[in-house]
Amino acid sequence: IDRLVRERVFQAAYPLHEGDYKFDKTEKQMPFHENNPRRVLYDTWAQYRVFYKYQPLDLIREYFGEKVSLYFAWLGLYTTWLISASLVGVLVFMFGFIYLSNNLPVQDICTIGKGIRMCPLCDQCPYWNLSDTCSSARLGVFFDHPGTVFYAIFMSFWAVTFLKHWKQKNAQITHRWDLMEFDEEENRPRPEFAIRTSRVEKNPVTGLLEPYFPPRVRIYRIIAGIVTLSVMICIVIIFIIAIIVYRIIISIPLLRNRDLQVYALSVASLSGAVINLIVIMILGYLYQIIAYKLTQWGL
């Protein structure tokens, strides 16, 4: 159905819905068990006022099917487990304030560093005081302290434990819904792939005739795909080197300016990060196009 909609054979495809999901002001309130499924889901699931309640997975399954209901089962469990991760993160964040206020090296940089002259960072750059790095030192200590190491280790164990718990939860749900012996329908070749082949051969496993690419044609296409991916990797490396060079070039005039010297490295890093983000978004869009073309080509 999705392919037919995509090829404009059908304008749209959607399941039929029985009844409105909201009560009309002139409509008489009906008993809960007599409402249509949309209205029941709206009242018990799709409203902010019931965010603290467990999801009605059986009702979701009845209306949307097993795949969608399993997704929301995972999403609900994941959101619940994020509460513990966020609480520990808040504690680590608060510990950063305490650790920063008691950090002697940072206090020395911000106080004693006012009388310590440092050598210029470039040939034409002026001398500068050690206290000029007070803000960057504070930020560095605030975000890089023993608490962050603990949080990284904690999140590693959290992720492993969550996956184990989800496997157990998933097994319980599939057993309750009698999905243990559920098998996917037979995977058939994509129509887009089939129309691009000129030969068919018998599948030794299924015994059915399937579209087939000769080895020679397949090798040529694989080589073309490898060359395309290699070119994209080279483009990424070029952009990485270009951003590094940009940060060096933009920081030199800022370091020579007495007023902007303190913010030189920060400006170079932030502007470089913004450019890097733009490049990633552009390349991500390009990756999608190339991946689609290679998939359509039979790779």
The residue that leads in pLDDT, 252 or 157, is 157
- Give the CA diameter of the chain: 85
**Rounded Cα gap, residues 100 and 14, in angstroms:** 57
Q: Is residue 200 part of a domain?
A: no
Which pLDDT does position 295 carry in this prediction?
80
Residues 3 and 33 in one domain: yes
CA proximity to 129, closest of 137, 120, 138 = 120
Same-domain pairing of 114 and 220: no
31, 33, 34, 37 alpha-carbon torsion, rounded to 10°: 120
Residues 219 and 260 occupy one common structural domain: yes
Q: What integer pLDDT is reported at residue 148 of this predicted model?
A: 92
The pLDDT value given to residue 93: 93
Q: How far apart are CA 39 and CA 19, in angstroms?
A: 8
d(CA 71, CA 293): 29
Cβ distance 175 to 79 under 8 Å?
no
Percent of the chain topping pLDDT 70: 87
Residue 17 CB partners (closer than 8 Å, separation 6+): 38
Query: Which of 47-51, 71-75, 251-255, 268-272 has the largest mean confidence?
Result: 71-75
Phi–psi pair at 182, nearest 5 degrees: -75, 130
pLDDT band at 21 (very low <50, low <70, confident <90, very high): low
* pLDDT bracket for residue 114 (50, 70, 90): confident
| Between residues 121 and 299, the one the model is more confident about | 121
Question: What is the per-residue pLDDT for 244?
Answer: 93
Check if the beta carbon of residue 236 is closer than 8 Å to that of residue 283: yes
Long-range contacts, stretch 66-72, CB < 8 angstroms, 24+ apart: 66/177, 66/179, 66/182, 70/170, 70/173, 70/174
Owning domain of residue 262: 212-296
The answer on 108 and 19 residing in a single domain is: no
What's the whole-model pTM score?
0.64
Q: Quote the pLDDT of residue 31.
A: 53
Output the pLDDT for position 135: 82
- Going through the chain in order, the beta strands assigned E by DSSP cover 117-118, 128-129, 199-202, 209-212
The model's confidence at residue 18, banded by pLDDT at 50, 70 and 90, is low
Cα–Cα distance for residue pair 274/267, rounded to 1 Å:
11
Shared domain check, 106 and 140: yes
Task: Judge residue 60's burial from the number of C-beta atoms within 10 Å of its C-beta, 0-12 exposed, 13-18 middle, 19 or more buried.
Answer: buried
Q: Which of 180, 201, 231 is the last residue of a domain?
A: 180
Q: pLDDT at position 94, please?
A: 94
DSSP 4-66: HHHTTSSS-------S-SS--TTSPPPPGGGS-HHHHHHHHTSSGGGTTSPP-HHHHHHHH-H
Could you tell me if residue 192 is inside a domain? Answer: no
What is the rounded distance in angstroms from the CA atom of residue 247 to the CA atom of residue 265? 8
Same domain, 17 and 86: no
pLDDT of residue 162: 97
How does residue 110 score in pLDDT terms, banded at 50, 70 and 90? Answer: confident
Residue 272 is assigned to a structural domain of this protein: yes
Residues 168 and 224 grouped into a single domain: no
Q: Clarify whether residues 68 and 145 are in a common domain.
A: yes
pLDDT higher for 297 or 86?
A: 86
Last residue of a domain, one of 161, 180, 199: 180
Q: What is the pLDDT of residues 125-150, one digit of tens each?
A: 778 788 878 888 888 888 888 999 99
190 within some domain:
no
Instruction: Kindly state whether residues 95 and 149 are assigned to the same domain.
Output: yes
